[in-house]
Amino acid sequence: MPLEVRRSLVIEAAVWVFANEGLAATTVDSVAEKAAVSKASIYGVVRSKDELLEVAAREEFDRFVNSLLASQARHAQEPRLARARARFAAVFGYARERPHGFAFLIMLRDNKVGPVAALAREVRRTLTQALASDMAVAGMATGTVAEILATVLIGMAEAGVRATEISPGVDADAVVDLLTGITSVGLVGLDKSILARLVPAESDATSGVAGDSSKTPSNLKQAASTQD
């Protein structure tokens, strides 16, 4: 078996086993059994279980991030509401296509220390920055405010997926529409002085939001009054 083929089998098996058995309970033997290869074949790909976890985490994170960024690029020219829905739909789509991969990512996100935790933080920063950039282009918010909103939206998407897992009879598309509606209506009806208060006055130069909470930033006024 070619090395690259064996490597793919091992990494995919590792993601499945980690997701289903847990990080601590997973063994090299259980991954070898799932991949239908020998234990020696595993060690031909990685040197230890810890390295296997890091490699599997990196590949799954990359797959997830690339999937979401590709979706964002495909919908970049669509109206704001359609782009918002596409973001949530991309997360749900990934969870449907790779349920074990998504479960693995959630498990990794809960890690607080070590290289995998650092990788999870890096991925979250990448997604947050990409979403914040899209918000800035749409005139919704910029800088720190956009990053805070992006973090909230990512958390909502994860929670929505978990809700459909807990209640399998729930229509996932309806949940996507619900999250989209909450986001759109919530931002439009939100008192924009709240957003202004999120950023201290001393960071005005880089945040794009006025420090005076009695004033509404012009870009946020536009977002509140304009429906694409």
Q: Which domains does the chain have, with CATH numbers?
A: 1-47 (1.10.10), 53-225 (1.10.357.10)
Of the chain, the percentage scoring pLDDT greater than 70 comes to: 79
User: Which distant-in-sequence residues (6+ apart) come within 8 Å of 44 by Cβ?
Assistant: 3, 6
Q: Report whether pLDDT(109) > 90.
A: no
Which amino acid does the sequence have at 7?
R
How many angstroms separate the Cα of 51 from the Cα of each of 43, 59, 157? 10, 12, 29
* Helix axes of 143-166 and 80-97: crossing angle, nearest 10 degrees: 40
Q: Report whether pLDDT(90) > 80.
A: yes
Q: Are 90 and 67 in contact (CB under 8 A)?
A: yes
- DSSP secondary structure code for residue 201 in this structure: G
Cβ-based burial of 66 (10 A; exposed 0-12, middle 13-18, buried ≥19)? exposed
- DSSP secondary structure code for residue 13 in this structure: H
The beta-carbon contacts of 202-208 under 8 Å, at least 24 apart in sequence, are 203/143, 203/144, 206/143, 206/144, 207/142, 207/143, 207/144, 207/145, 208/136, 208/141, 208/142, 208/143, 208/145, 208/146
**Sign of the dihedral through C-alpha 33, 39, 41, 46:** positive
Left if phi > 0, otherwise alpha if psi is -120 to 50, otherwise beta: which for 216?
beta
Q: Report whether pLDDT(190) > 70.
A: no
Q: What is the rounded CA–CA span in Å between residue 51 and residue 145?
A: 37
Q: Mean pLDDT throughout 98-121? A: 83
pLDDT tens for each residue of 42-61: 999 999 999 999 999 999 99
Q: Are 91 and 157 in contact (CB under 8 A)?
A: yes
The residue assigned the tokens 């005005």 is: 204
Q: Mean pLDDT throughout 111-140? A: 77
How many angstroms separate the Cα of 182 from the Cα of each of 62, 81, 211? 29, 11, 27
Cβ-based burial of 77 (10 A; exposed 0-12, middle 13-18, buried ≥19)? exposed
| Position 218 confidence tier, pLDDT thresholds 50, 70, 90 | very low
Q: What's the whole-number average pLDDT of the chain?
A: 79
